[in-house]
Amino acid sequence: MLYLFGLALATGLAVAIAAFGGSLGQGRVASAALEAAARQPEAGGRLFTFLILGLALIESLTIYALFVSIILSKKLPETDAVLQVLSKMSGQ
């Protein structure tokens, strides 16, 4: 039963933690790109390319976490099966 609790917790928190980390990373990337563009405005085009590439890679990690969360949620048993096990445990 502890296994199912850990699986359900991991399913629920996987995307939340990945989104939090991804948003922090995206904020730092955008901040660094804007700071670099302010120092050298003529390099704005190249910076924009690297900015978009970095943001896409960060976002892809969040999407991977979403896929892992979906896969983990498919491993959880149905609610009726869990309730039956819990009722048998409480009846003993």
State the Cα–Cα distance between residues 72 and 10, nearest whole angstrom. Answer: 8
DSSP collapsed to 3 states, 30-89: HHHHHHHHHHCHHHHHHHHHHHHHHHHHHHHHHHHHHHHHHHHHHHCCCHHHHHHHHHHH
Residue 22 lies in a domain: yes
Tell me: the pLDDT tens digits for 13-46? 888 999 999 999 999 999 999 999 999 989 888 8
Residue 45 lies in a domain: yes
Residue 7 lies in a domain: no
Mean pLDDT value of segment 75-88: 81
Nearest to 88 by CA among 80, 57, 48, 75: 80
pLDDT at 92: 62
Look up the CATH number of the domain holding residue 75: 1.20.20.10
Mean pLDDT value of segment 45-62: 91
